């Protein structure tokens, strides 16, 4: 089927779904395949649940059903991307402005802050949660409507050409890289590989005459922009005459003064300052004053175990358990070391996908926390186990194979009056310890 015909069907539908369990009346279902699922097997079922049409692989059993609501294509994921790119070009004239965002750390937080600031004046569509892969990006683009003013599309990458595949779908007018650090080294091969992959966003912007938002405090990003002849819309501590205010038990969250305007956040850690400044820079580009941006940011409450701080009945808990890599782990520990408290406890899980650098990076973290003078430190996972053996098993660090084992330990050895940092890669499931705190 020609993409223009499929687009007409999409425009007459109630939207797109790739989850057969959550199909709604009138939606267009795309039967995607993965390692552990095959949406083609549920295509007919979605039609019985109210889907208007189902796009399936031409080789699937559903394609030979004879049902006129079945749309066979060669590759359903490729067709989903093609439909999103077509929608990007045809949904609105003049085109909606799109901000494409990527980076090693802080992508989702920055995206949410930008959404929050822009929503003070504009109708904004943004990537939901962290649906930033080759499925999530086209689904986000397809949520743009003729009434949308600005779209903020987050793009993740764990392999060298992931971003280069996603930018032709979202076709951003603006690009923003939060930072470039050590993450997914197993897929990228090296730090230079990470720079190459993230830099694909800059490459696209340079090739289309778009603009970038550039953190002038970050020499790596400045170098990457200069190499491509890009002069960014600048932001940074020096650029915005900003300073970070000290934290205390009474004021534990990030607070800043930006060009004379105080910004009070509900975010934990000075490492989030760059994310706040990025959102303010985007707002400024679109005519939103720093005072308006500060008010909007003050109302943003993080979720999903990202830079959250909560007071339980027993402890002060910093929940940063969604993901971890050497860069974000170092930033979290830097912030934790500055916190005041007599009973500081670090509960840290393995950092995944670091390839041949994994042992060395885990040794660095284990060695650092061993020397931080913490009241208690518990490390979780196979990689931290190897690191501790490399260090001679420091007596002031406890090791657990899984987060379940740590949770069981904490259930029997209750913490009270402690300041607790919880961080680890998603696969370690460090959030399992939170009920014990």
* Residue 275 included in any domain: yes
23 occurs within a structural domain? yes
- What pLDDT, on the 0 to 100 scale, is given for residue 160? 80
Are 293 and 319 part of one and the same domain?
A: no
pTM of the model: 0.83
Q: For residue range 348-358, list pLDDT tens digits in order.
A: 999 988 888 89
Residue with tokens 């940074």: 236
Same domain, residue pair 233 and 170: yes
Report the pLDDT value the prediction gives residue 48, as an integer from 0 to 100. 96
What is the domain range of residue 40? Answer: 3-75
pLDDT value at residue 185: 63
Q: Are residues 45 and 114 in the same domain?
A: no
Structural domain includes residue 303: no
Place of tokens 């782990």: 329
Mean of the per-residue pLDDT values for the chain?
92
pLDDT in tens, 210-267: 999 999 999 999 999 999 999 999 999 999 999 999 887 778 889 999 999 999 999 9
Instruction: Show which of 266, 298, 330 is a domain's final residue.
Output: 298
- 319 or 244: which carries more pLDDT confidence? 244
Confidence bin at 164 (pLDDT 50/70/90): very high
Q: Is the pLDDT of residue 183 over 80?
A: no
Which CATH number belongs to the domain containing residue 399 in this structure? 3.90.190.20
Pick the range with the lowest mean pLDDT from 34-48, 177-191, 379-393.
Answer: 177-191
Q: Tell which phi-psi region holds residue 80, choosing left (phi > 0), alpha (psi between -120 and 50) or beta.
A: alpha
Q: Indicate the number of domains in the chain.
A: 3
pLDDT higher than threshold 80 for residue 94: no
User: How confident is the model over 68-93, as pLDDT tens digits?
Assistant: 999 999 999 999 999 999 999 999 77
Predicted local confidence at residue 190, as pLDDT: 82
Which domain-ending residue is among 298, 329, 356? 298
Domain membership flag for residue 105: yes
Reply yes or no on whether the pLDDT at 192 is more than 90: no
Report, as an integer, the average pLDDT of 8-27. Answer: 95
Return the pLDDT at 381: 95
Highest mean pLDDT among 37-46, 240-249, 296-305: 37-46
Please tell me whether residues 269 and 126 are part of one structural domain: yes
């Amino acid at each position: 089927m020609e993409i223009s015909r499929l687009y007409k069907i999409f425009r007459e539908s109630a939207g797109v779904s790739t989850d057969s369990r959550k199909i709604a009346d009138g939606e267009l279902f795309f039967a995607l395949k993965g390692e552990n699922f095959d949406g083609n097997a549920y295509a007919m079922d979605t039609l019985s649940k109210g889907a208007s049409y189902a796009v399936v692989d031409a080789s699937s059993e559903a394609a030979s059903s004879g049902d006129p609501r079945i749309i066979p294509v060669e590759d359903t994921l490729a067709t989903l991307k093609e439909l999103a790119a077509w929608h990007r070009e045809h949904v609105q004239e003049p085109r909606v402005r799109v901000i494409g965002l990527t980076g090693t750390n802080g992508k989702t937080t920055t995206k949410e802050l930008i959404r929050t600031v822009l929503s003070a004046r504009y109708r904004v569509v943004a990537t939901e949660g962290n649906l930033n892969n080759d499925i999530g990006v086209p689904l986000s683009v397809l949520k743009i409507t003729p009434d949308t003013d600005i779209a903020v599309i987050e793009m993740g990458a764990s392999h060298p050409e992931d971003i280069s595949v996603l930018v032709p779908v979202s076709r951003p007018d603006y690009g923003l890289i939060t930072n470039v650090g050590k993450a997914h080294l197993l897929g990228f091969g090296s730090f230079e590989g990470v720079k190459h992959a993230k830099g694909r966003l800059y490459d696209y912007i340079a090739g289309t005459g778009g603009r970038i938002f550039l953190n002038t405090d970050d020499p790596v990003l400045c170098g990457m922009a200069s190499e491509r002849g890009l002069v960014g819309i600048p932001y940074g501590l020096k650029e915005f005459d900003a300073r970070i205010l000290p934290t205390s038990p009474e004021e534990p969250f990030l607070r800043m003064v930006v060009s004379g305007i105080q910004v009070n956040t509900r975010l934990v850690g000075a490492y989030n300052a760059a994310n706040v400044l990025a959102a303010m820079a985007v707002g400024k580009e679109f005519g939103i004053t720093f005072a308006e941006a500060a008010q909007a940011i003050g109302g943003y409450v993080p979720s999903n175990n990202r830079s959250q701080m909560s007071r339980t009945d027993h402890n002060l808990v910093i929940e940063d358990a969604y993901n971890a890599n050497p860069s974000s782990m170092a930033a979290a520990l830097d912030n934790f070391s500055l916190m005041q408290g007599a009973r500081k406890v670090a509960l840290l899980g393995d950092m995944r996908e670091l390839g041949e650098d994994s042992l060395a990076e885990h040794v660095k973290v284990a060695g650092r926390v061993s020397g931080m003078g913490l009241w208690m430190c518990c490390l979780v996972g196979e990689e931290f186990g190897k690191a501790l053996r490399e260090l001679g098993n420091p007596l002031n660090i406890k090791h657990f194979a899984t987060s379940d084992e740590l949770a069981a330990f904490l259930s029997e050895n209750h913490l009270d009056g402690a300041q607790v940092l919880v961080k680890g890669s998603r696969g370690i499931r460090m959030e399992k310890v939170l009920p014990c705190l």
